[in-house]
Amino acid sequence: MTGFTKDYAGCGVCVAVCSFLTEFGTHRKILADCPEAAFNCKSCRRCEAVCPRHLSPASAFLAIKERLVQKEQIANSVRKVMESARAFAKAGHRFPFAFYGSANTVFWPGCGLAANLPGLVRKVRDILSRQLQQKVGLVLDCCYDPVFTLGDTQASFAALHEIEQRLHAGGVRKVITGCLNCHKLLSEHLPGIEVVFILEVLPPEIFKQQQRDQIYLHHPCPSSRWEGIRNAAQEVVNHIYQSHCSPGEYFVNNSVEASVPLCCGAGGGLSSLSPELADRFISRIIQKGTDMTIVTYCTGCQNRLLQRGVAAVHLLECLVDTPPRRIVPSPLRQWINRLVLATQSRLKMPIIPALFVIALLVAGGIYLNAQYFFAADALADLLGHYPVVAPVIFLGIYALAPALFLPSIPLTLAAGFFWGPVWGVLFSISGATLGSCLPFFLSRYLLQNFIKNKVAQERWQWLQDKVNQHGWKAVAATRLIPVFPFNLLNYLFGLTPIPFLQYLWSTFVFMLPACIAFVAFGSSLSELILRGNIRGVIVGVVIAVCAFLIPLALRPFFRKIGESKQETDG
């Protein structure tokens, strides 16, 4: 119970300002008699802001929620809300809704802005680029705050660890957040990255001045942690509205009580757990801003106010010459907004046109495979009819096969069978190298989040650590020692920081011995079946055996790199 002394009975100041405590009693009563009621706490910290002893009942309630979640001692109603929060966060954390732009500085709008104001997100990112005079990337992801607030800190910290890795992989050093909840978690749990709120970055002068009758500035509850953010919001509002309002029309939060942020009751699943209690929270804000336009800098608060028929403006809407929204998009529309925003962001990447062509080729390969185009007799007939273009066709098929998780050994044997040991090796190693590059590019530039979510984290994390330690030797070790399946390995290397040229030449060199072995064996089969040449079979088998001995001879030099994975799997 963070911050409490045994002999402190409570003065009741926090009860007077919190609808939750008004409903359930003092923190000591709740913790002693009905700790499960802690799930109705919004962690808004208003109790902490008004406490004369600077205690934090909200921290104690979060600790209780965390303990109950870990012990799975939660009511069914809480469990349903928790499952919904996890599903929401998990979807937002994965492909296709998650997107990471590569830049030193990125704009992180949060789920709310992306879902409700996707056009504004793009404009704000462009404004930041012009204002900072540098490229500002865009990052779309869920910070897991809905899950964190409900007490599942274990899942939240795991997601935040992945977020940190994704940001570092993109070379991100500074994150500008547009959501206070995201700002809360990212600033507290990404120690190696600078995290600032957008109102701390943009000067008030670039906001468009507006004409309103009377306005009320609402500080969202997470802002209770940062006086600087509240002051920045106040300065922006002063610039936007004050010059257009006559004396007495402009409401300034200058009293101690009024300057304390107010919770709208939206976060932490309270609107589902206890809609009536959530309404009491939002009613406090509405009462403060009676007959005034309420200005806030949280989309969740804005949505709650708009749903109650109250005129509400998001501060960032004042950056552009467009009227503020008046309706809340449906849940389906919000998901579509996020999907479209992420998709459009991907389509702006320079690599996308090439990947689009690759995707068409992959789709064509899937279709041809379904039509048995890759069957052995079909390939033999095709190569026989087109001897000139046959190598090109073969290379195209070989380039697609690993990306589609089709076996490559039959293709390598076929190269030796049709073209002999010399040309067979040339065509097969070229095709195998191309086939290794396609999954690498798909994973690195298009399907990174998708692959990470489909493969156990310890797998690609282990490989990433090996690349960081050993560079190209990690490629050599995994090509010589079967740590991962060959086709999966091509995708996993795309998740690592290895330079492409290192990956290319080391893949070529350390796949070559096995390639020679299989081509030689395929060539010997051709000598036996087509010409009845027993001597050719013997020569082919000898070459194959010698080629297989090369990787065996090299393995001791790379065994230390690859064995640790095998040991952990065992």
Q: Is residue 178 classed as helix, strand or coil in its secondary structure?
A: coil
Spatial neighbors of 404 by CB under 8 A, at least 6 apart, are 362, 365, 366, 369
Give me the helix-helix angle, 331-347 and 118-132, nearest 10°: 40
Spatial distance between the Cα atoms of 452 and 430, rounded to a whole number of angstroms: 28
Q: By the 8 A CB rule, do 145 and 124 touch? A: no
318: its two tokens: 């004042």
The reported pLDDT for the residue numbered 250 is: 36
Spatial distance between the Cα atoms of 199 and 229, rounded to a whole number of angstroms: 7
Spatial distance between the Cα atoms of 137 and 32, rounded to a whole number of angstroms: 48
Which segments within 103-159 are labelled E, that is strand?
105-108, 136-140
Q: Which residue has the tokens 């070229």?
A: 430
**How many helices (H) and strands (E) in the chain?**
26, 8
Spatial distance between the Cα atoms of 25 and 361, rounded to a whole number of angstroms: 65
pLDDT tens-place string over residues 239-278: 888 644 433 333 444 333 445 678 887 776 666 677 787 7
Spatial distance between the Cα atoms of 28 and 50, rounded to a whole number of angstroms: 17
Q: Which domains does the chain have, with CATH numbers?
A: 13-73 (no CATH), 85-204 (3.40.50.1860), 210-317 (no CATH), 352-569 (no CATH)
pTM, entire model: 0.61
Closest residue by Cα to residue 200 from 128, 133, 256: 128
Closest residue by Cα to residue 43 from 153, 183, 186, 149: 149
pLDDT tens-place string over residues 297-353: 999 999 999 998 998 999 999 998 778 888 999 988 899 899 888 888 876 654 455
DSSP alpha helix (H) spans, 190-307: 227-241, 270-273, 275-288, 299-307
Confidence category of residue 178, pLDDT binned at 50, 70, 90? very high
Q: What share of the chain in percent tops pLDDT 90? A: 21
The reported pLDDT for the residue numbered 224 is: 82
The reported pLDDT for the residue numbered 282 is: 86
The kind and range of the H/E element at 176 are strand 174-177
pLDDT tens-place string over residues 449-493: 777 767 776 766 777 777 877 777 788 777 766 556 667 777 888
Amino acid letter, 61:
F
